[in-house]
A = this chain, B = another copy of it.
Amino acid sequence: MKTNTTIKNLPAEQRRAVTVEAVIELAAEKNPASITTAEIAERMQLTQGALFRHFPNKDALWQSVMEWLAAQLLGRIDRVIATTGSPLEALELMFAAHIDFVAKHPGAPRMMFAELQRPDPTAAKAIAQTMLRHYSDRVGKLLAKGMGEGIIDPDLDVAAASVMFIGMVQGLVMQSMIAGDIAVMLGNAKPLFALYARGIKQRNHER
């Protein structure tokens, strides 16, 4: 059963949730910075003024969107990491989960990027920053664990490897924007991670 986004007179909480979804949908199609409240309302089959019954202002709405994104992505990642004890496998599952999430919500990385670009320190920007810090922490911990287990190269620059991990996702996002096709990401994800793994793995010297 799909969440019905066209029904009217939703309870406030549901309406807020539907609004967040609408914003992320729109962010998949255009620059998040130029999404207007009128567009959001139109997408929801609602009048523009009605939005402000559920959010005090646009910034508050944006904050809700970022909170939803952070919770969703980190939640998915943590769930997937917990299924395995192998750090390398965990990284692969984490990457796959991230790509899957981005493929389902192409607006997500664009919202992140757009928020980080804002010069003023808004609440939404702060959420994006801490969210990415948490993300990097997860990657860093897995890498450190792998180094401890002798699976990952002990001389690895963990900071660089974290940047590369996030960069892979960004690279795939860019590629899909050039191609104008989100599906491209899914096809390139596997070989991309294989290349990453090849770069960080401990070399086997007794062969």
Q: Which residues of A contact B (CB under 8 A)?
A: 29-31, 33-34, 110, 113-114, 116-119, 129, 132-133, 153, 156-157, 159-161, 163-172, 174-175, 177-178, 188, 191-192, 194-196, 198-200
Contacts and interface: CB of A to CB of B under 8 A. Distances in A.
B170 A174 contact: yes
A14 B144 CA distance: 53
Contacts of A168: 163-164, 167, 171
B194 A157 contact: yes
A128 to B, nearest CB: 8
Q: Tell me the number of copies of this protein.
A: 2
A93 to B, nearest CB: 18
Chain A interface mostly helix, strand, loop or mixed?
A: helix
B29 A119 contact: yes
Contacts of A31: 31, 33, 114, 117-118
A163 B188 contact: yes
A174 B164 contact: no
A107 B114 CA distance: 13
Nearest to A173: B170
Contacts of A178: 116, 129, 132-133
A122 to B, nearest CB: 12
